[in-house]
Structure 1
Amino acid sequence: MMMRSVVLMLVWWFLCGICLGKFLVEKNILKVTSPESLKGKNECAIGNFGIPRYGGTMAGTVVYPRDNSDACKAIKKVKEIMEKKPGGLPIFLLVDRGECNFTMKAWNSQNAGAAAILVVDYKTEPLITMDQPDEASENDDYIDKITIPSVLISKSLGEKMKKALSDEEIVSVVLDWTDALPNPDERVEYEFWMSSDTTCGPKCDSQMNFLKDFKGSAQILEKTGYTSFTPHYITLYCSGSKTSNPCATQCINKGRYCAPDTVDEYLGAEVVLENLRQACIFRVTNESGKPWLWWDYVTDFTRRCSMQEGKFSKACAGQVIDSLGMAKDKIEKCMGDPNVDEENPILQAEQGSQIGKGPRGDITMLPTLLINGVQYRGKLDRVAVLKAICAGFRETTEPSICLRADMETNECLDKNGGCWEDKANNITACRDTFRGRVCECPVVQGVQFLGDGYTECKPSKSSRCRINNGGCWHESRDGKSYSACPEDGSEGCKCPPGFKMNAENSCEDVDECEQKLACQCPECKCNDTWGGYECSCSQGLLYIKDQDTCISRKSVTKSNAGLVWLLVLGLAALVAGGYLLYKYRIRRYMDSEIRGIMAQYMPLDGHAEPLIHSSGDI
């Protein structure tokens, strides 16, 4: 018992040392929209219970219950408080800090019908994080039932709100969490700090339930590449000497990595070893490309190797590892020897990660969830955490799991979200996202619609006829199809040849026979068809459409035969002429060559004999 007290003192010293160091209060924005004298933005601290609306906003009217200002007793129904108040906004209860714990205030406010609770600090100081009680009591089962968001506001802002309400002014505010979580890219990185000790009270119960309930969602997100998850484990350092170690049973590696003994009398060293085992399981499964298997192990281990049932042991852990087909030898190699007087690289890295880097802050509470480097505040509930993770995606890049019915309300279902729509063709510019709707002209069947998304969306000209024929008339009969949508992409509708526009902006067939537009020769017989006509001739005559006339089939035959003979004779004449021309050119070429050769050996006509010169020498 003495040993446990020493360790608990060490834990208290360790955590308080961090609290005085880099513990960060996670904040959101409270915008006062009325009265005019209070308008503006104010920071408020997010409570570590209930369900904050990460990525969203809430508007409400503030009410201050003067007869129960600290909300430590049951509050009369909000509907009764607001009977004489105008407007239909949700009610945010303004309550004073003190007299009872924060969670009790939130629970009473929720039971009264409030949509959120604003706790006014009782002194001028930097904002703090409202947390649930450290020690559990038999009446604390209500904490997990708190669903309304809670924030702590400064004393000065709270006093101004009270003054305005006492003057019977309407105080309206908007709680804004849109910037509480960053969303730098299309993947969310999140971490979960925990311990294998499951006997520490409500927070351990919350941790176990969360791991079990969130497993499915986590594995879906991880397998599809939308998230990157990393588990972490807090360990403490015992500063005892080698000869006198006050926490020997709580530590491994000669006091370097420690944990308190558990309520069920398990040694702290056993907790540290299981923490190390789980960290190594994650490392080994991650190296194999299947990091989501970690969730299978921790949920199975919690169920099969419960501390409460006295089954928490290395042997039970081995059975779980074997049942999941994990590489036990690699896991044991990763864990190393817990008895050596040297650092364990895995636990050393965990201790280093506890210290905050950049804006993150140190890890001081268990369990702690970090999303994109920001500590999550609120209830460890599957839907609440999933909403927070979804808020870590850029708008319109969130996975489909973020848009399920239990995650958010589809704003496109209410008056189409105020966006453009074509009801006749079931086309809309309203697209639902986790944070709300966006009005963007859609792409339908590969055709991009263009416009502002609110009042107009039109298919691009080059392909508008591909979507419902550009809104123009079209019809098919007997294997024939006609459309009034111009194929050149021009605006409007134009009936094709053989049709005319009627009063209903549809195209109707033109009767070419009745209007005497074709087939007018004496021997012609006209028959109207849909979109055209057919013309025939009496007495066995043949109709020539281009000339709109009927001629004898025999004359056509004779004419065709004469034409063939004419073509044959013409071709023969052409070949003969070509041959004579060829012979003529060959003859001229040979004559030219002979004359050139003869000119080299005898004078040509008209030239004198060549002179013979003599020198006179003998």
Structure 2
Amino acid sequence: MGGRSPPAGWRRWVRTRLLLLLLVVLALAATAAVEGRFVVEKNSLRVTSPAALRGVYECAIGNFGMPQYGGTMHGVVVYPKANTKACKPFADFGLSFNPKAGGLPVFLLVDRGDCYFTTKGWNAQTAGAAAVLVADDRAEPLITMDTPESSGKEHLENITVPSALVSKRFGDDLKGALENGDMVNVLLDWRESLPHPDERVEYEFWTNSNDECGAKCDMQMSFVRDFRGVAQVLEQRGYTQFAPHYITWYCPEAFVLSAQCRSQCVNHGRYCAPDPEQDFTTGYDGKDVVVQNLIQICLFKVANESRKPWLWWDYVHDFAIRCPMKEKKYTTDCAHGVIKSLGMDIDKITQCVGDPDADEDNPVLKAEQDAQIGHGARGDVTILPTFVVNNRQYRGKLDKRAVLRAICSGFEETTEPDICLTQDIQTNQCLENNGGCWLDKNTNFTACKDTFRGRVCECPVVNGVKFVGDGYTHCEASGVGRCQINNGGCWKETRNGKSVSACSNEQAKGCKCPQGFKGDGIHGCEDVDECKERLFCQCKDCSCENTWGSYECGCGGSNMLYMREHDTCISKVATSSLGWGFMWVIFFGLGFAGVGAYAVYKYRLRSYMDSEIRAIMAQYMPLENQETSSHQRHVEHADI
């Protein structure tokens, strides 16, 4: 055998073993890099009967099927008489679990072992079960039932019933109760499986650009195609904050220079991805996958900076169609063509990508590896693809309706967008008996508000007017403008073109009959007979006539006038004579006052003028008495 080459089958066997060895080494290296922490996502199971088992139990959500996030499901537990591990179709044993008319849905309890979890779920679903409960066969903490990597994939796309793993002890208790002839009723509850703290949901999609990974890749691309429109609407309207992520591993230092690591890694073994075909000699390599993942991350970063993060969905969708591996178009040039078609800046994206051959850290891929590590309530991301909603990993089928339901369950109650309230997502409880809430039959105003988790009875706001009350038996309009809404629920009537209402915007709430009426203001207001009750028109000569909402008072004789503010009658004639006489007195008085004022004015003016003239003349022409006095003064002076 010395000069002969090994057979082709032997070479393939060696390559396969080397590949498996490298993958194991990479996985161990990734595990050693961080202190791994996988979180099992759970929901609650409430037993309502029998009394001996009544209580709440934890169960682990399976990573297949469609959990009813945000909702509940009530059913009856059945343990099959044959095929207890559900590894074969139940039709082979003549068993069916379709509920009879009016009966509760069947939750099929099966045992763990001998076949894939997905096989059990598929066989239970095809037999008519509404959910499948898998009882563990060993006493251990709950685990996540995952989908198979190699076989059993034919059922993966079609499983829609929810699945849950229960502990061995609880499974044995359920079987014991059923053997005793007890009817076991349970409620599966996913309402608190995902946190819902506020009116915005933050979610991540851990994915991969590789399109040659079999059924999972096909399911992932189908999901992107179906969910793209919903995701973009939620993002554009500000309901959600989305971010894509990609898993990479590093190559152990001892293997960095090996041909395997050089073909699967970039940046000298720092960031690696498995070979798409699991064959190092043909097709694309893991290095190509890492580069395309990096381009998609950078495209999202640039799109997010330009406030258009939803363009990532268009790019991933178009890249999968235009640049598939099978057509040998999975290249950077093809990726750039898709980027140009979306009108994005290639230079910014290229700068973000950096040099895959550089012997240094790539900041973008380094951040992705750090994000892969669990934090808070979220465990490490180890399964692809994976959805993370409000920092909690989604479990179940990657299906548009199932994922949307999970996102909707992440909104605070009553803040979810309309898309979460459509019939294919949840049931509108307000359609039946108005949800038991208050309803105004005249206007159809209702306090029933449909939410993703059910309904709440909350007095509504109509045209800016807030209704107040308990929401169940009573709601009434409150505040300014309330009278414009069904007249505030108050009485109102119109007679002879005159409208009277018991509602007033001056009152914050309630109804009050206006002046001239009495009653509760809601069921009616009755006219007050002011004449009969002698509230007005009490003067001697007064006569009273009641009108609707008021009264009219008169006086005997045509020459009498009624004065309402004084409740008295006076004579029209006397009032007229007195009035004109008084006016003439005023007129003549004003006339005399004017003449007198004019006379005084003339007298004062004449006196003033005379005094001024005399003063001027005295300066230039001395008067006779002045001359005499002067002469006398001179004489007297000489005698001395």
TM-score by length of 1: 0.81
**Aligned with 1:100 (options 105, 115, 130):** 115
Q: Matches of 1:488 and 1:318 in 2, distance apart?
A: 67
Aligned residue runs from structure 1 range 59-458, under 5 A: 59-75=74-90, 88-136=103-151, 140-239=153-252, 240-241=254-255, 243-263=257-277, 265-458=283-476
Q: 1:27 to 1:578 in 2, by over 3 A?
A: farther
How far did 1:168 drift?
Answer: 0.5
**Counterpart residue identity of residue 371, structure 1:** V
Shift of 1:337: 1.2
Looking at structure 1, the residues matched to 386 and 232 of structure 2 have their Cα atoms a distance apart, in angstroms, of 19
Distance 1:243 1:174 in 2: 56
Q: Structure 1 residues 201, 184: closer, same or farther in 2, change over 3 A? A: same
Range that drifts further, 56-65 or 106-115: 106-115
Q: CA deviation at 1:549?
A: 7.1
Partners of 1:392 and 1:123 in 2: CA distance: 34
The answer to whether the 8 A contact 1:465-1:489 is kept is: no
**Aligned AA for 2:21?**
M
User: 8 Å contact 2:47–2:185 — kept in the other structure?
Assistant: yes
Shift of 1:398: 2.0
The CA distance in 2 between the partners of 1:452 and 1:515, in whole Å, is 40
**Stretch of structure 1 that moved more, 180-189 or 388-397:** 180-189
Q: Secondary structure at the match of 1:68?
A: coil
Equivalences, count: 574
Shift of 1:531: 5.5
> Following TM superposition, by how much is the alpha carbon of 1:539 offset from its aligned partner in structure 2, in angstroms?
12
1:487-526 residue pairs with structure 2 within 5 A? Answer: 489=507, 495-496=513-514, 505-506=523-524
Give 1:458-477 correspondences, 5 Å limit: 458-460=476-478, 465=483, 467-476=485-494
Give CA deviations for 1:555-596 in whole Å, capped at 9, x if unaligned.
8766554454455567789999999xxxxxxxxxxxxxxxxx
Moved more, 399-408 or 386-395: 399-408
- Per the alignment, residue 45 of structure 1 pairs with 60
2:22 match:
10
Give the greater-gyration-radius structure (CA). Answer: 2
Unmatched runs of 5 consecutive residues or more in structure 1 = 580-618
Alignment CA distance shift 1:452-1:535 (3 Å): closer
Equivalent position of 1:22 in the other structure: 37
- Cα deviation for residue 460 of structure 1 reads 4.7
- 1:404 positional shift: 2.3
- Provide closer, same or farther for how the CA distance between residues 388 and 37 of structure 1 changes in structure 2, counting only shifts above 3 A: same
SS of alignment partner, residue 82 of structure 2: helix
Q: Give CA-to-partner distance per residue, 1:50-104, whole Å, 9 cap, x none.
A: 1112222222111111222122233369876766xx9843221111112322112
Residue pairs, 1:572-587, within 5 angstroms: none
Residue 196 of structure 1, CA deviation: 0.5
Amino acid at match of 1:123: R
- Which amino acid letter does the alignment assign opposite residue 119 of structure 2? M
CA contact (8 A) 1:4 1:261 kept: no
Contact 1:276/1:335 (<8 A) preserved:
yes
Aligned partners of 1:245 and 1:255 also within 8 Å: no
TM-score normalized by structure 2? 0.78
> Which residue pairs with 2:604 in the alignment?
none
- Once structures 1 and 2 are overlaid, which stretch shifts more, 329-338 or 482-491? 482-491
Cα distance, 1:166–1:477 mapped onto 2, change above 3 Å: same
Q: Find the aligned partners of 2:107 and 2:39 in 1 and give their Cα distance.
A: 25
Q: Identity of paired residues, percent?
A: 55
Alpha-carbon shift at residue 353 of structure 1 (Å) = 1.9
Q: Secondary structure at the match of 1:409?
A: coil
Specify every segment of 5 or more residues in structure 2 that has no aligned partner in the other structure, as ranges.
Answer: 1-11, 599-640
SS in 2 for 1:164: helix
Contact (CA 8 Å) 2:201, 2:241: kept in 1 or not? Answer: yes
